[in-house]
A = this chain, B = another copy of it.
Amino acid sequence: MSLVRVHNFAVSLDGFGTGAGQSLEAPFGHAQHRLMQWFFGTRTFQSMHGEGDGGSTGVDDAFARQWGPGIGVEIMGRNKFGPQRGPWTDEEWQGWWGDEPPFRTPVFVLTHHPRPVLELKGGNTFHFIDADPAQALAMAKEAAGDLDVRIGGGPSTVRQFLAADLVDHLHVVVVPIVLGRGERLWDSLESLEQRFTIEATTSPSGVTHLVFDRR
């Protein structure tokens, strides 16, 4: 049975999954790179970015590398795709990831403003769809075949899929910083823990990995 998975989703102690003020220059807003610092040090990240065999291979990397295997489709929110809001004024924008993004699968981007399919190298085909979580998941599962579907973020997208009880596996990385503003992951998810078993693991980098598996 194919699963719906979330990986490497970092939040601050106060539960923000991204900072305030996202822009072209600041994809994570005022959080800058602080939520993802633990990830940059891993071999998983460094090999995704062509830096060879560098990077740590400890617990952060062990979690980070779960991200890819078995995934057939990613669903992401529009704010993960880019900083534009409202109707597209610049369809030249192809995401943050250059001409060969790291997903290597079809990607469904949730937006109230559909636009034509965008095909980039390496199997990265972006579909822009106006759909609720259940509808989007049905489309994604069809495209994924027997493989799993990853919910890629940002916070409001992950939160909506959790609220709709569509997530089977959730990996959250709690980073010991207090952001104060931005977009919260946990809002409106009261008693979420009742639907999951939860395991916590700390890392020498200072973060805590939380793994939620559907009961």
Chain B residues positioned under 8 Å from A186 (CB to CB)? 13-14, 178, 180
Does A177 interact with chain B (Cβ within 8 Å)? Answer: yes
Report the separation of the CA atoms of residues A185 and B207 in the bound assembly, to the nearest whole angstrom. 19
A179 near B: Cβ within 8 Å? yes
* CB-based nearest B residue for A194: B177
Min CB–CB distance A81 → chain B (angstroms): 26
Tell me whether A200 is interfacial, beta carbon within 8 Å. yes
If the complex has contacts A186-B178, A189-B178, A190-B179, are A208 and B202 also in contact, measured as CB distance less than 8 A?
yes
A198 touching B206 by the CB < 8 A rule?
yes
Q: Is the interface of A mostly helix, strand, loop or mixed?
A: loop
The CA of A206 and the CA of B210, in the complex, are separated in Å by 10
A193 with B177: CB separation less than 8 A: yes
**CB pair A188 B177 closer than 8 Å:** no
With a CB–CB cut-off of 8 A, which chain B residues contact A192? Answer: 178
Are the CB atoms of A178 and B190 closer together than 8 Å? Answer: yes
Query: With A and B bound together, what is the CA distance between A201 and B202 in angstroms?
Result: 6
Flag A181-215 by CB within 8 Å of B: 1 or 0 each: 10010111111110000111110001110100000
- CB of A163 to closest CB in B, whole Å: 11
Contact present for A191 and B208 (CB under 8 Å): no
Question: Does A13 lie within 8 Å of B14, measured CB to CB?
Answer: no
Given contacts A15-B15, A178-B191, 16 further A-B contacts (CB under 8 A): A13-B15, A13-B174, A13-B210, A14-B15, A14-B186, A176-B200, A177-B191, A178-B189, A178-B190, A179-B190, A180-B189, A181-B190, A198-B206, A200-B202, A200-B207, A200-B208
